[in-house]
């Protein structure tokens, strides 16, 4: 029994509405009837509904237009049209435009019940389908390749906050995996809608507003048809605002308004649409300094920064560069059907020593290119585009090795102590048996934030 099904019925015949309401209420549906297309659509935009039933002959607008508008507002809604005498052709057109079924006047109560029950069942099945599809999306966090304690802590944080609606801010240098984590957050959230990303830096300022908020037909020259914006497209899903630091101030105000009210108004529209999206934003810029320069709104910052995740650059992750290099090599070697390929010892050392300013993306591209270019079975530093690490004489090497070993042991212990103490420096120093200034000193030297 569809207990909570919400139906909007648009028909100018008062008697028909009353009769249909009565029949459907008995079946457990909640019906709101409205007598004009304008009222019906306004209610639908505001509150949504599982089903929309509309007469094809309305005083203010053709039912066909109501169908089109409703599908624009929520492409997933099922619409049933009501046909009177002489509108059978219109009913056929309505079906062609995506109406689920039609009802001929006067209704037979049984036919009405049956048609509604089937349409509602279909709407339910489709919603279930979308939910299952979202579940099946490969778990992006599972694809995150890392062995670094800080990155693993971040993956756990993402997993934990996924189910909430909290806005997440991902900070990190270019190529550190902000988009990978944003997609992981969406997958783990099990939200039924889509993951939609928009890069605020890549779209010219004058187009960005309509990209985000959408526009009505005729809102400006060239607006040939009503188009929903990215925010609306992400309804019931996740919206990633990439390079948020590049959002122009005027749009920052509009975005803040959306985050506070959770409704949008398309350009040229007279009504608001409620949108349910989880927002993730990302930037490689220092937002605090943009705020100090007056280029980023502080109030928007606090709206967006409900949960802040700072992704460490690749050079600060323990062992990740080599781990990722092996994984990318496997992936690309398979793609290129060159399964015998391996990394030479020199290449491994070169990868470890390189600071990777372009982070994971730079490493990924380097390995991809190397797999295509390499002639032998062993990738050399040259194939990867890195200098061959200088040969060290035996005496020097053991010294360097000891230092490397000690530094890596110190780093592991400090990271573990910070994790166990929940980043409490006093407690971490206690666990490590050193003073607080010494810990700060070591952290600075080992580039641990």
Ligand X SMILES: Nc1ncnc2c1ncn2[C@@H]1O[C@H](COP(=O)(O)OP(=O)(O)OP(=O)(O)O)[C@@H](O)[C@H]1O
The residues that touch Mg ion, with contacts defined as CB under 5 A, are 178-179
Comparing every residue's Cβ against Mg ion, the nearest one is 179
**445 Cα distance to chain centroid:** 36
Instruction: Tell me the closest approach of the beta carbon of residue 79 to ligand X, in angstroms.
Output: 39
Which of the listed partners (Mg ion, ligand X, none) does 361 bind, with a CB threshold of 5 to 8 Å by partner kind? ligand X
Question: Of ligand X, Mg ion, none, which one sits near residue 144, judging by CB under 5 to 8 A according to partner kind?
Answer: ligand X
Shortest Å distance, C-beta 392 to ligand X: 30
> Measured from the CB of residue 195, what is the shortest distance to Mg ion in angstroms?
13
Q: Which does 180 bind (CB under 5 to 8 A by kind): ligand X, Mg ion, none?
A: ligand X
Paired tokens of 149: 């304690």
> Between residues 331 and 338, which has the closer beta carbon with respect to ligand X?
331
Nearer to ligand X, 178 or 230 (CB): 178
Q: 281 Cβ partners below 8 Å, 6+ apart?
A: 167, 168, 169, 170, 240, 241, 242, 244, 304
Burial class of residue 435 (count of CB atoms within 10 Å of its CB; 0-12, 13-18, 19+): exposed
* Identity of the residue, 73 or 198, whose beta carbon is nearer to Mg ion in the bound complex: 198
User: What is d(CA 410, CA 406) in angstroms, rounded to the nearest whole number?
Assistant: 6
SS3 state at 20:
helix
Residues 113, 27 contacting (CB under 8 angstroms): yes
> Using only C-alpha atoms, what is the Rg of the chain?
29
Distance in Å, CB of 322 to ligand X, minimum: 13
Determine the straight-line distance between the first and last CA of the chain, rounded to whole angstroms: 56
- By beta-carbon proximity to ligand X, the closer residue of 315 and 378 is 315
Q: And the tokens for 115?
A: 């048609």
The smaller minimum CB distance to Mg ion, of residues 158 and 415, is found at 158
Place of tokens 């959002």: 247
Pick 179 or 383: Cβ nearer Mg ion: 179
In whole angstroms, give the CA distance from residue 330 to residue 245. Answer: 36
Given Mg ion, ligand X, none, residue 360, with its beta carbon under 5 to 8 Å by kind, binds ligand X
Q: Are 312 and 172 in contact (CB under 8 A)?
A: yes
Residue 177 site contact among ligand X, Mg ion, none (CB < 5 to 8 Å, cut-off depends on kind): ligand X
Residue 176 Cβ, how far from ligand X at the closest point, in Å? 5
Interacting residues toward ligand X by CB under 6 A: 144-146, 172, 174-180, 284, 360-361, 364
Q: How far is Cα 146 from Cα 435, in angstroms, rounded to an integer?
A: 31
Residue 9 region by backbone torsions, left for phi larger than 0, else alpha for psi between -120 and 50, else beta: beta
* Minimal distance, residue 242 CB to ligand X, in Å: 6
> Cβ closer to ligand X: 49 or 234?
234
Q: Which does 364 bind (CB under 5 to 8 A by kind): ligand X, Mg ion, none?
A: ligand X
Residue nearest to ligand X (CB): 177
Identify the DSSP state of 234. Answer: T
252 binds, among Mg ion, ligand X, none (CB under 5 to 8 A by kind): none
Choose between 172 and 229: whose C-beta lies nearer to ligand X. 172
- With CB under 5 to 8 Å by kind, the binding choice for 369 among Mg ion, ligand X, none is none
Please, what is the minimum distance in Å from the beta carbon of residue 358 to Mg ion?
A: 12
How far apart CA 353 and CA 338 sit, in angstroms, is 26
Strands of 323-392 (E only): list them: 342-343, 378-379
Nearest distance from C-beta of residue 85 to ligand X, angstroms: 59
């Amino acid at each position: 029994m569809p207990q909570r099904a919400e139906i909007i019925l648009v028909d100018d015949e008062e008697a028909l509405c009353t009769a249909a309401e009565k029949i459907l209420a008995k079946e457990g549906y909640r019906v709101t009837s409205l007598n004009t297309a304008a009222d019906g659509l306004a209610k639908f935009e505001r509150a949504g509904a599982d089903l929309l039933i509309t007469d094809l002959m309305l005083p203010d607008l053709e039912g066909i237009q109501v169908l089109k508008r409703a599908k624009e507002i929520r492409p997933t809604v099922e619409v049933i049209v009501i046909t009177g005498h002489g509108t059978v052709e219109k009913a056929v057109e309505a079906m062609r435009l995506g109406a689920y079924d039609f009802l001929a006047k006067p209704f037979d109560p049984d036919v009405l019940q049956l048609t509604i029950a089937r349409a509602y069942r279909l709407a339910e099945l489709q919603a279930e389908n979308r939910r299952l599809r979202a579940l099946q999306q490969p778990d992006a966090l599972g694809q995150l390749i890392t062995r670094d304690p800080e990155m693993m802590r971040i993956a756990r944080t993402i997993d934990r906050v996924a189910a909430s609606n909290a806005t997440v801010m991902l900070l990190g240098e270019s190529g550190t995996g902000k988009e990978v984590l944003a997609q992981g957050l969406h997958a783990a959230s099990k939200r039924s809608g889509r993951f939609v990303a928009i890069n605020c830096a890549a779209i010219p300022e004058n187009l960005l507003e309509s990209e985000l908020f959408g526009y009505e037909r005729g809102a400006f020259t060239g607006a040939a048809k009503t188009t929903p914006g990215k925010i609306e497209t992400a309804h019931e899903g996740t919206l990633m605002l990439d390079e948020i630091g590049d959002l122009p101030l005027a749009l920052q105000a509009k975005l803040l308004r959306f985050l506070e009210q959770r409704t949008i108004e398309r350009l040229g529209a007279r009504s608001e649409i409620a949108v349910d999206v989880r927002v993730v934003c990302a930037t490689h810029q220092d937002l605090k300094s943009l705020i100090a320069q007056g280029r980023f709104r502080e109030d928007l910052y606090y709206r967006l920064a409900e949960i802040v995740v700072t992704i460490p650059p690749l050079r600060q992750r323990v062992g990740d560069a080599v781990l990722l290099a092996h994984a990318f090599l496997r992936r690309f070697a398979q793609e290129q059907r060159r399964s015998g390929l391996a990394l030479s010892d020199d290449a491994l050392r070169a990868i470890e020593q390189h600071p990777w300013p372009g982070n994971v993306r730079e490493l990924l591209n380097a390995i991809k290119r190397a797999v295509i270019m390499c002639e032998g079975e062993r990738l050399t530093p040259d194939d990867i585009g890195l200098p061959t690490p200088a040969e060290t004489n035996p005496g020097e090497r053991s010294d360097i090795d000891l230092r490397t070993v000690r530094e890596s042991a110190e780093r592991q212990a400090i990271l573990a102590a910070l994790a166990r103490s929940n980043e409490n420096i006093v407690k971490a120093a206690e666990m490590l048996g050193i003073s607080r200034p010494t810990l700060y000193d070591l952290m600075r030297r080992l580039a641990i934030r």
